[in-house]
Amino acid sequence: MSSINNAGTYKLGDRTVKRMGYGAMQLAGKGVFGPPKDRDAALAVLREAIESGVDHIDTSDFYGPHVTNQIIKEALHPYPQDLVIVSKIGARRGADASWNPAFSAEDLEAAVHDNLRNLGLDVIEVVNLRAMFDVHGPAEGSLEAPLTVLAELQRKGLIKHIGLSNVTRKQIEDGRKITEIVCVQNQYNLAHREDDALIDQLAAEGTAYVPFFPLGGFSPLQSSTLSDVAARLGATPLQVALAWLLKRSPNILLIPGTSSVGHLRENLAVADLDLPEDAMQELNGIAAKA
């Protein structure tokens, strides 16, 4: 029977979640700013995700800002017991929709309280600290001060687990000296494979890797190889891109984003799409050409 259970599970903090999750960023307005065009459609996507068995939702209070979390609360609160909501902090939106670093102790504490209030939670299961040394990709720089603040909020019971986003291997290793790092969320997909070695290391260490932009983000992936493989398998190219991630490493948790129930269904159906080895080999060639 078709079920997202077929994609398997992986450990996230002290919970086990299905590898097929949902990323809520697309539920805010254009540019991840302001309210969505169709709020009822956003509510419907979240409810359908939960009805289909999704137990891992990725969000942030800086989506909107506040809007996405408020929609999640309206759609799903009181939350199913098995639902793990993961949020992220470290940025503040400007009035012009810009993404600005927000790393002071006051910023971080306010961000955690904003998440708690807007999601209607007493404790957040996982909070990712989103590094902003370079907004577009991992760059070295010390995360000691903000992680120490987060670890203190964890001791106070506001956060259960801590993860890192947009980070280097060194930042993960340094972070582990301060607190347990339960997941890493960096950009990664078929065409963007800078983290290949990191993913294998994290898998060996039993740490979840949660790729953002799994479908290519604001410009979804396009490649003739991807289209050819998809046509052969009777799937869409973006379904094949997700299936490739599932097969790439067992510690990869998927959080594809969509504002459409139709796309959500297509994405969740990937749990039943097992890529043959020759298709994997062909798809592996895409990054080399990108």
Q: Which has the closest alpha carbon to 215: 249, 184, 251, 190?
A: 190
213 binds ligand NAP (CB under 6 A): yes
Q: Among residues 61, 64, 259, 279, which is the contact residue for ligand NAP, using CB under 6 A?
A: 259
**Closest Cα to residue 167, out of 134, 203, 193, 190?**
134
Say whether residue 168 binds ligand NAP (CB under 6 A).
no
Binds ligand NAP by CB under 6 A, chosen from 182, 212, 230, 240: 212
Query: Distance between CA 185 and CA 59 in Å, rounded?
Result: 12
**93 belongs to the binding site for ligand NAP (CB under 6 A):** no
Question: Is there binding between residue 165 and ligand NAP (CB under 6 A)?
Answer: yes
Give 40 or 156: the residue with its C-beta nearer to ligand NAP. Answer: 40
Q: Taking CB under 6 A as the rule, does residue 255 contact ligand NAP?
A: yes
Residue (88 or 161) nearer to ligand NAP, CB: 88
What is the DSSP code (8-state) at residue 234? Answer: T
Task: For residue 62, give the 3-state DSSP assignment.
Answer: coil
Among 258, 268, 273, 275, binds ligand NAP (CB under 6 A): 258
Residue 101, preceding peptide bond in cis (omega within 30° of 0): no
Q: Write phi, then psi, for 80 (nearest 5 degrees).
A: -60, 145
Catalytic residue at 79? no
Is the Cβ of residue 181 or residue 215 nearer to ligand NAP in the bound state? Answer: 215
Binding residue count for ligand NAP, defined by CB under 6 A: 27
Does 201 contact ligand NAP by CB under 6 A? no
Q: Cα(93)–Cα(74) distance, rounded to whole angstroms?
A: 22
* Minimum distance of ligand NAP from residue 214's CB (angstroms): 5
Cis peptide before 35 (omega within 30 of 0): no
By CB under 6 A, residue 31 contacts ligand NAP: no
Strands (E), the chain: 9-12, 15-18, 22-23, 56-58, 84-89, 91-93, 99-101, 124-130, 159-165, 181-185, 208-209
* 65 is an interface residue for ligand NAP by CB under 6 A: no
Residue numbers at the binding site for ligand NAP (CB under 6 A): 23-26, 58, 88, 130, 165-166, 185, 212-217, 220, 238, 255-260, 263, 266-267
Residues with active-site annotation: 63
